[in-house]
Amino acid sequence: MSDETPICSAKGCRADAVWVLAWNNPKIHTPERRKTWLACDEHREHLSQFLGVRGFLKDVVKFEDWQASEEG
């Protein structure tokens, strides 16, 4: 566990992450595998679209909800 505030995965962005984008590339990942990107409010749409057009995007969840589900 880290106490560091997670930051947005968008290139060059240092904003706090608010969203978790869960994705899977069927060519390289097993179906149940989830990769995650973090996004601030500003970049959620951009990153979602990037994954969405490739058919990779599985879920977009509030960071706090994601953490709660990971811990629970």
- Nearest approach, Cβ of residue 32 and Zn ion (Å): 28
Query: How long a stretch of residues is the chain?
Result: 72
Among 20, 38, 40, 57, binds Zn ion (CB under 5 A): 40
Q: Are 59 and 69 in contact (CB under 8 A)?
A: no
Structure tokens, 52: 């969405």
Neighbour count for residue 62 (Cβ, 10 Å): 11
- Nearest approach, Cβ of residue 14 and Zn ion (Å): 8
CB of 8 or CB of 56, closer to Zn ion = 8
CB of 14 or CB of 27, closer to Zn ion = 14
